[in-house]
Amino acid sequence: MELTRRDALGLLGGSLAAGFATRSVQPLFAQAPAPPVFPKGAIIRTLLKDLPPDALASGATLFHEHLSMRYPLGVAEHFTDDVALMIEEAKATKADGVACIVDGGHADMVRSLDALKRITTESGLPIVASGGYYMQRTYPADLAAKSADQIADELVKEAAASRFGAFGEIGQQGGVLTDDERKVFTAIAKAHVKTGLPVFTHNAYTGVRPTPNPVPKDTALKQLDLLLDNGVKPSKLAIGHLCCLDDTKAEIPIAVAKRGAFVGFDRVTIALVPDAQKVTTIMAIVEAGHASKILLASDFSSARGLKKNGGGGLGQALTVFAPMLLKAGMPEATLKSILNDNPRAFLAFQPKAA
C-alpha cells in the first residue's frame, strides 16, 4: 500500500496525539517500540513445527529457560527428570500467558530431546530446542582434537536432524575464554552463517556479591566481538546474563544494543543481583532508547520456582518479574513489546538450504 503524504501526516498526527496522551503520565522514552517487521519466509523453528512469527504474537516468549537437564554435571537426579511434572508446569505456564519457551540446554548439560518432545506434545506449549556446547568443564573429551570447522559441520547436521531453533546457551567458565571455548564460539558463528539460526550466550558474570574469582565486566563485549567478527548477524545474537552485572547505568547492555545485538536479562527472579536493581538497569536501557533490544527470561533451574512448590512457575519472568517493571513505571505497551515482540524478532530466521 502506498501512503499519500496526507495519509502519512494523518498517521503521524494520530501517533503524536496518542504519544501526547501518554506523555501526560509517562515520559517520552516510555513509548512502545514499533512492532517487528519480519523478512519474507522467516520462521521460528519449534521442536514440532516451523511457525510463522505471527503465530506467537499473543503471548510472551521466554528465550532462555531449562525444562530438561542434569546440571551441575554428575547430579544423581534433577527435578526435570520428572517429565510428568514438567508437563503440568508447562500447561500452567501456558495458562499464565506464555506462548513459547526456548530451552537453553544441550547434550553436554544432559538435556533430553525426548523429554522436551513429550513436554511440548502433551502440554501444547511450543518449545524451541537448542544446540551447542556449554563451557569448558562440560565439553566432551573428543572436542579438544577437533577443529572449529569440524565442530561447525557437526552442529549444522545435528541442528537439521534434531530441529534446533537456536544455538545456546554458549558459555564460558571464567573471565577469559579458554582456547577450547574460543574454538567453540568460532564454530558456533560458522554454524550460524550456514544455517541462519539465532545464537544466545552465557556470559561470565560479576554480580554484586564478592566471588572467589571475580571476572572482568567486559567479557560480554568480548563475546560480542568474537561472534560478530566471525559473521554472526547482530540481529540474531543475544548476549546472555547481562542482568548479573553490577551495572545500574546499563553501560554494557547499552553498548551491546548499540551494536545491534539483543541484551539478555535472562536470570530475572534468581541469582546474584537483586531484582530491584535489575529493574533499575532495564529502565536505564529503555530510557536510552533500546527497549526493542531487551529480552527477558529466568534461566529456570531451581525446583523452588515450580508452581508445585509455590513458585512463579516456568514463566516466572512473566508472572513474578514483569509486574515489577509495571510498578517501576514501564507502560504496559512497552512491556508487552519486550515480552511478546522482541523474542520473536530474535528467534525468527530465514532457513538456508542445506
**Binding region for Zn ion (CB under 5 A):** 104, 169, 299
What's the min distance (Å) between Cβ of 302 and Zn ion?
A: 11
User: Within 10 Å of residue 122's Cβ, how many Cβ atoms?
Assistant: 15
Computed from CA positions of residues 346, 244, 274, 166, in that sequence, does the dihedral angle turn out positive or negative?
positive
Cα maximum dimension of the chain: 68
What's the min distance (Å) between Cβ of 2 and Zn ion?
A: 46
What's the min distance (Å) between Cβ of 329 and Zn ion?
A: 29
User: In Å, how far are 41, 218, 227 from 53, measured between CA atoms?
Assistant: 10, 33, 25
What's the min distance (Å) between Cβ of 314 and Zn ion?
A: 13
Q: Which is nearer to Zn ion, 89 or 169 (CB)?
A: 169
Residues 6+ apart with CB under 8 A from 87: 118, 119, 122, 123
What's the min distance (Å) between Cβ of 211 and Zn ion?
A: 18
Q: Which is nearer to Zn ion, 169 or 181 (CB)?
A: 169
Q: Which is nearer to Zn ion, 123 or 301 (CB)?
A: 301
By the 8 A CB rule, do 299 and 267 touch?
A: yes
Q: How far apart are CA 93 and CA 345, in angstroms?
A: 22
Q: Which is nearer to Zn ion, 43 or 170 (CB)?
A: 170
What's the min distance (Å) between Cβ of 267 and Zn ion?
A: 8
At 64, is the secondary structure helix, strand, or coil? strand
Amino acid present at 345: A
User: Within 10 Å of residue 333's Cβ, how many Cβ atoms?
Assistant: 15
Q: How far apart are CA 237 and CA 346, in angstroms?
A: 7
Q: Which is nearer to Zn ion, 106 or 293 (CB)?
A: 106
Q: Which is nearer to Zn ion, 108 or 169 (CB)?
A: 169
